[in-house]
Amino acid sequence: MKKYVGQSVKRKEDYRLVTGTGQFVADIKLAGMLEAVFVRSPQAHAIIRHIDTSKAKELPGVHAVLIGDDIKGIINPITQFESHSAVPPNVAKEINPKIQYNDESVLAIDKVVYVGQPVAVVVADNRYIAEDAADLIKVEYEQLKPMVDPYEAMKEGSPLVQNQVEQNIQMEFHLSIGDAKRVEQQSNHVLKARVKTPRLSSNPIETRGVIADYDNRTDQIHVWSATQLPFEVRATIAHCLGWTEQNIRVTAPDVGGGFGPKGGVHPEEILIPYISKRLNRPVKWVEDRLEHLTSARQSRDQVHDVIVAYNSDGTILSLRDEFVVDSGAVNFFGFTCAYNTAYHLRGAYKIPNYDIKSRIVLTNKTPNVPFRGAGRPEAVFTMDRVIDMIARKLKLDPVEVMKRNMIQAHEMPYDQGILVKDGARLIYDSGDYPAALNQALAMVDYEGFRERQKELKKAGKNIGIGISSYVEGTGAGPFEGALLSVDSTGKVIAHLGASPQGQGHETVFAQIGADALGLTPDDIVIKVGDTAVLPFGAGTYASRSAVNAGSAMHEASLKLRNKVVAIAGIILGTLPDEIVIEEGKIFSKENPSHFLTLQDIYKRSRPAARPPLPSEIEPGLQVTHYFVPPTVTFASSVHIAEVEVDKETGFVDLQNYSVVHDCGTVINPMIVDGQVQGGIAQGIGSALYEEVVYNESGQLLTGTYMDYLLPTSMEIPTVKKGHQQHLSTRNPLGVKGVGEGGAISPPAAIANAIVDALSDLEIVINQLPVSPSRLRGLIKEAEKKQSTILSK
Amino acid sequence: MKPAVFSYLRPTNLQEALMFLEEYGEDAKILSGGQSLIPTMNMRLSAPAYLIDISRISDLNYIKLDGDFLAVGALTKHKDIENSDLVKEACPLLSEAIRWVGHAQIRNRGTVGGSIAHGDPSAELPCVLTALRGEIVIANVDGSEEVLVPEEFFLTYMLTSLQPDQMVKEVRFPIIPKESGSAFLELARRHGDFGLAEVAAVVDIDDEGHLLNVKIAVGGVNPTPTALEQVEEYLIGKKLTDEVLRQVSDLTQESVDPESDLHGTAEYRRELAGTLTVRALKIAVERARGGNNNVQ
């Protein structure tokens, strides 16, 4: 049956994308369209004393200038997204969360809480005039003490980022199984460490952008947004503006990358529709790169304090972790990232005593949201650094410690004894982690590497190898739908709620539909990213589209097939069971030469008096299916990094990068390889280059690409890829998500490799990125320490 | 990220360009390749009232031998230098350094005159010019010319002695003799970034490997590219022993005063300047010894 699933079918969307004929928000031009520009806060924490907009309003070509006072009581603030933040009752019972309300007005009212926060918006004939006018707006601020360090923010009496959030702790929870404290007291080996992951920016190649076009006659508004979640944007516009949801149509056109931060709803997505209605004109706003780096939501930024007890053979007995998430000025996603960290931390390992305390803290920085990996890179960096530190303390090879603690294949499905964020039990459904590790070790010739390492050491060269593994809950619910119909030309039109940002949805869903329906991918037209058609949709995030929308596509295709064979049976005078569909030809097994097409079935399916359809068959060829997964399904991976470190300069040369991964059924190997490679590129970025830096006054120091370093193709090796296919047991296709995985392990694998290359110096790397300056500092410190020891 | 309003002027020859400079110089900026100017205008960090686009002046685009010099017209693109066999022959150090200028896209548009006039202390061409003791030819509005050496021209960070009514016309790189060895080394966080430190070196040696002549400059670690005169003097008559190289590193570190930024502390960059100087010298001597200064 599987004909197209498993094939590297060429991407249907690529012709338009590579010929520059795709349509992104910035490409859309409407008659009479105005352009908006935002005035953003230059202060991290300040009272707005006065705003003078008079000169800006007088500038010819300016149509509107709005500030916070203009929308007070008119536009509701954006609050936590309930769809992502709600804690299921059974999870709440287990982790006892304390949550404080927090929100963000779409234009700052009374005070600003982060650099880059929208303070005013100017709408003009074009962007040039709008920027000229923005320069004429004068804002008087009275500075407040900025909260930059989350530990300081939590102190009693510290200034509050949001007045109603006491001690700036927006949420906290405690998850515990076993008795970690007792185990620590009884253990001979206890390791304590602080492990930090930096704050990151997501940097899609297309920045954000919104167009809104209000229609006075129907009171309807059409909004185009570079979003991952058109349905959430629609719901939030309705909530913030009090408009009828059905009058709002949100379209995500071609979207050039999302990675998570395009999955929240930003203030601009509310304001632009509001202004369009107010002026009764189409209004466009396209974020520029400076705005993206300051104002688009950021991510990560966790500090872990871990205490680990272990045996002399490397068996981990307990793990205690108190971690803080610096969420910036607002937390929209509740415990999404923090709980992801908490439930993923143990990964492929068995750790019976496990105690996690998490605090999500507000500071005067750009708000954080999930970003590719969403709490998992933080967990894996912490866990795999711990594994490596244990190995070095015990003078064991890290591989030995990994194997000592790993869940074995025969133990699957494996119950980790806690709950997933959605309330289901945390049970790994399938996978063989030790086999994946062995496969990866064979790929890099681990023994051979160790030999080579010894040889090169003699010649003064420092090469090192580092390993990381992860187990990742993918394909999060709640659901995704597919609405399929056949049109008069015989094409199958499929509408799905999960819209892409470059992943290749138009291709993979067509592959799935083609196999289920007996068609070719070209017979199926995939339509995505429009709230006008499907009543419900979730979106593309959390490595979920292939699992959820793919399964919905599969099930809906089977439903459509049932209807097609029923009608074909009537026309051909055979039982539906006797009908075969192959490459679009519909025939009876008995007589393949006499075939029908979908066009014939379509004609016969129309409501008609003569000949009528039997009463049990509804006219038309249209079906809908919503797929609701029981819970997440667990993908997994082993990453191995090989580096050479230049001791004198601290430069790290990433020489090879290898991965073995399991994402269940592979729908399109080419696309999967691309996802893995791309994810790893972002992971390498956070290992070696990327960090959002604020100074002590909350000023952003990484506001351009001269300072926020994204790796380019010159810094990224072609990843060697090995595959495993352990099918998911939680959806009809056996698929697991693959979108985020690549980004999860590189920081741990690369840090471990650097530590390994410098093993004689016994350096510890628990902070990212490993910049040459930082690493050279660690090397000098270690050399100094060693020479003091030697001289003693 | 849209520039403020400006008027655009496009002279077709040097004469006309100088005329525009005379009239608008104080309020004007010369647009050449635009690789540095346009971003600052888009960010509204600069808002010149006039842009004088000299990119269509065709007679300032050349690479030619002129006595002891390789003369390069101000409007010559980095890419032209990179692809020039004449440059490889006459000044291999320049060939080697030019590849460190940004990315291919930048080298396709960026010009030699623009790079020199911009005065960025971490730019590669000023560093090479400083090491070689080259010359900068400046055109005045009255048609006269001035010839300046790098230490007269580069004043401090992004500031040169070029006046608002002057323009860089030609940059003159001394020809490197066949028997010399040269090397350019740079370390940047990523390929194409501004260097954390960079070194340009040229040496002559005798048959035993004693240094007869040394020219060496560092970039990115002082407000201007800096000729390491102390190191040069120290090295004359010496071989590159471990002890000598240690001394070279120390002298280099004493000659530089870098600033801390996100990409490296001052201490790190100072040390890096020393390390790179040592490495560049070793390579240059190796190339001189091979009697083959071919830069790969």
User: Where residue B125 sits, what CATH number does that domain have?
Assistant: 3.30.465.10
Query: Which among B5, B103, B262 has CB closest to A693?
Result: B262
Does the structure show a pLDDT above 70 at A57? yes
Residues of B in contact with A692 (CB under 8 A): none
Beta-bridge partner residues of A465: A642
**Interface touch A712/B192, C-beta < 8 Å:** yes
**Interface touch B268/A650, C-beta < 8 Å:** yes
CATH value at residue B30: 3.30.43.10
Question: What burial class does residue A208 get, using C-beta atoms within 10 Å of its C-beta: 0-12 exposed, 13-18 middle, 19+ buried?
Answer: buried
Q: Could you give the residue range(s) of every CATH 3.90.1170.50 domain in chain A?
A: 29-145+204-295
CATH value at residue B191: 3.30.390.50
Query: Cβ(A181)–Cβ(A357) under 8 Å?
Result: no
Burial B8-29, CB ≥16 within 10 A → b, else e: ebebeebeebbebbeebbeebb
**Shortest Cα distance from B209 to chain A (angstroms)?**
24
Residues of B in contact with A777 (CB under 8 A): 265, 268
Query: Cβ(B92)–Cβ(B11) under 8 Å?
Result: no
**Shortest Cα distance from A691 to chain B (angstroms)?**
10
Does the structure show a pLDDT above 90 at A118? yes
Regarding whether B163 and B71 lie in a shared domain, the answer is yes
Percent of chain A with pLDDT over 70: 100
Regarding whether B158 and B103 lie in a shared domain, the answer is yes
Q: Which CATH number does A429-460+635-792 carry? A: 3.30.365.10
Q: Which residue out of A649, A780, A783 would a mutagenesis test of the B interface target, given it has the greatest number of B Cβ atoms within 10 Å? A: A649
Regarding whether B165 and B85 lie in a shared domain, the answer is yes
Q: Which CATH number does A480-627 carry? A: 3.30.365.10
- What is the tens place of the pLDDT at every residue in A171-185? 999 999 999 999 999
**Interface touch A777/B265, C-beta < 8 Å:** yes
**Shortest Cα distance from B18 to chain A (angstroms)?**
30
Query: Cβ(A436)–Cβ(A659) under 8 Å?
Result: no
**Shortest Cα distance from B191 to chain A (angstroms)?**
6
- What is the tens place of the pLDDT at every residue in A591-640? 999 999 999 999 999 998 888 888 889 999 999 999 999 999 999 999 99
Inter-CA distances, A559 with A307, A494, A545, Å: 53, 13, 20
Residue B296, in any domain of the structure: no
Residues of A in contact with B103 (CB under 8 A): 712
What is the per-residue pLDDT for B58? 86
Could you tell me what percentage of chain A is helix, strand and coil, using 3-state DSSP and rounding each to the nearest 5? 35, 25, 40
Residues of A in contact with B271 (CB under 8 A): 776
Distance separating alpha carbons of residues A314 and A403, to the nearest angstrom? 9
What is the per-residue pLDDT for A9? 97
B88 interfacial to chain A (CB closer than 8 Å)? no
Mean pLDDT of A241-255: 97
B191 interfacial to chain A (CB closer than 8 Å)? yes
The residue in chain A having the minimum alpha-carbon distance to the alpha carbon of residue B278 is: A648
**Interface touch A773/B2, C-beta < 8 Å:** no
What is the per-residue pLDDT for A705? 94
Regarding whether B197 and B94 lie in a shared domain, the answer is no
Regarding whether B213 and B150 lie in a shared domain, the answer is no
Residues of B in contact with A290 (CB under 8 A): 1, 43
What is the per-residue pLDDT for A610? 85
Query: Which among B2, B192, B265 has CB closest to A773?
Result: B265
Residues whose CB falls within 8 Å of the CB of residue B65, separated by 6 or more in sequence, listed in order: B71, B86, B90, B175
B23 interfacial to chain A (CB closer than 8 Å)? no
Phi, psi dihedrals of residue A744, rounded to the nearest 5°: -80, -45
Least confident range of A436-445, A607-616, A651-660, B256-265:
A607-616
**Interface touch B264/A651, C-beta < 8 Å:** no
Residue B294, in any domain of the structure: no
Residue B265, in any domain of the structure: yes
Regarding whether B237 and B170 lie in a shared domain, the answer is no
**H helices present in chain B, as ranges:** 14-24, 37-42, 78-82, 85-90, 92-98, 104-109, 112-118, 124-132, 150-153, 229-235, 242-255, 266-289
Residues 261-290 of B with CB under 8 A from A: 262-265, 268-269, 271-272, 275
Query: Cβ(B195)–Cβ(B100) under 8 Å?
Result: yes
Burial A7-33, CB ≥16 within 10 A → b, else e: bebebbbeeeeeeeebebbbebeeeeb
Per-residue pLDDT in tens (0 to 9) along chain B, 296 residues: 899 999 999 999 999 999 999 999 889 999 999 999 999 999 999 999 999 999 999 899 999 999 999 999 999 999 999 999 999 999 999 999 999 999 999 999 999 999 999 999 999 999 999 999 999 999 999 999 999 999 999 999 999 999 999 999 999 999 999 999 999 999 999 989 999 999 999 999 999 999 999 999 999 999 999 999 999 999 999 999 999 999 999 999 999 999 999 999 999 999 999 999 999 999 999 999 986 555 54
Q: Could you give the residue range(s) of every CATH 3.30.365.10 domain in chain A?
A: 146-201+298-407, 429-460+635-792, 480-627
**Interface touch A649/B5, C-beta < 8 Å:** no
Query: Cβ(B236)–Cβ(B211) under 8 Å?
Result: yes
Could you tell me what percentage of chain B is helix, strand and coil, using 3-state DSSP and rounding each to the nearest 5? 40, 25, 40
Query: Cβ(B218)–Cβ(B277) under 8 Å?
Result: yes
Query: Which among A128, A689, A702 has CB closest to B189?
Result: A689
Residues of B in contact with A712 (CB under 8 A): 103, 190-192
**Interface touch A131/B2, C-beta < 8 Å:** yes
Range of the domain at B32: 7-53
Per-residue tokens: A190: 């206890």
Residues of A in contact with B1 (CB under 8 A): 288-290
**Interface touch A127/B2, C-beta < 8 Å:** yes
How many structural domains are present in chain B?
A: 3
What is the per-residue pLDDT for B296? 45
- What is the tens place of the pLDDT at every residue in A277-298? 999 999 999 999 999 999 999 9
**Shortest Cα distance from A181 to chain B (angstroms)?**
40
Regarding whether B185 and B169 lie in a shared domain, the answer is no
Regarding whether B19 and B80 lie in a shared domain, the answer is no
Which chain A residues touch B if contact means CB-CB below 8 Å?
A: 127-128, 131-132, 135, 288-290, 648-651, 689, 693, 701-702, 706-707, 709, 711-712, 714-715, 771-773, 776-777
The alpha carbon dihedral of A702, A705, A710, A715 has a sign of negative
**Interface touch A127/B264, C-beta < 8 Å:** no
What is the per-residue pLDDT for B292? 58
Regarding whether B68 and B161 lie in a shared domain, the answer is yes
Inter-CA distances, A333 with A94, A261, A366, A482, A544, Å: 19, 11, 14, 26, 17
- Kindly report the average pLDDT of chain A as a whole number: 96
**Shortest Cα distance from B265 to chain A (angstroms)?**
7
Which of residues B174, B193, B222 is at a domain's end?
Answer: B174
Query: Which among B1, B189, B192 has CB closest to A288?
Result: B1
Per-residue tokens: B33: 């390749």
Query: Which among B5, B44, B190 has CB closest to A709?
Result: B190
Fold of A146-201+298-407: Aldehyde Oxidoreductase; domain 4 (3.30.365)
Residue B1, in any domain of the structure: no
Mean pLDDT of A234-255: 97
**Shortest Cα distance from A297 to chain B (angstroms)?**
20
Quote ipTM for the complex: 0.95
B243 interfacial to chain A (CB closer than 8 Å)? no
What is the per-residue pLDDT for A290? 94
**Interface touch A131/B193, C-beta < 8 Å:** no
Distance separating alpha carbons of residues B130 and B134, to the nearest angstrom? 6
Which residue's structure tokens are 């525009």?
Answer: B20
**Interface touch A689/B190, C-beta < 8 Å:** yes
**Interface touch A706/B272, C-beta < 8 Å:** no
- What is the tens place of the pLDDT at every residue in A184-232? 999 999 999 999 999 999 999 999 999 999 999 999 999 999 999 999 9
Residue B259, in any domain of the structure: yes
**Interface touch B192/A714, C-beta < 8 Å:** yes
B44 interfacial to chain A (CB closer than 8 Å)? yes
Regarding whether B137 and B197 lie in a shared domain, the answer is no
**Shortest Cα distance from A734 to chain B (angstroms)?**
41
Residues 126-165 of B with CB under 8 A from A: none
Question: What burial class does residue A124 get, using C-beta atoms within 10 Å of its C-beta: 0-12 exposed, 13-18 middle, 19+ buried?
Answer: buried
**Interface touch A711/B191, C-beta < 8 Å:** no
Residue B2, in any domain of the structure: no
Beta-bridge partner residues of A303: A196, A324
What is the per-residue pLDDT for B294? 55
**Shortest Cα distance from A774 to chain B (angstroms)?**
8
Per-residue tokens: A178: 């076993």
* CATH class of the domain comprising A29-145+204-295: alpha beta
**Shortest Cα distance from B45 to chain A (angstroms)?**
12
**Interface touch A773/B264, C-beta < 8 Å:** yes
The alpha carbon dihedral of A193, A390, A438, A343 has a sign of negative
Q: Which residue out of B106, B272, B276 would a mutagenesis test of the A interface target, given it has the greatest number of A Cβ atoms within 10 Å? A: B272
Regarding whether B234 and B193 lie in a shared domain, the answer is yes
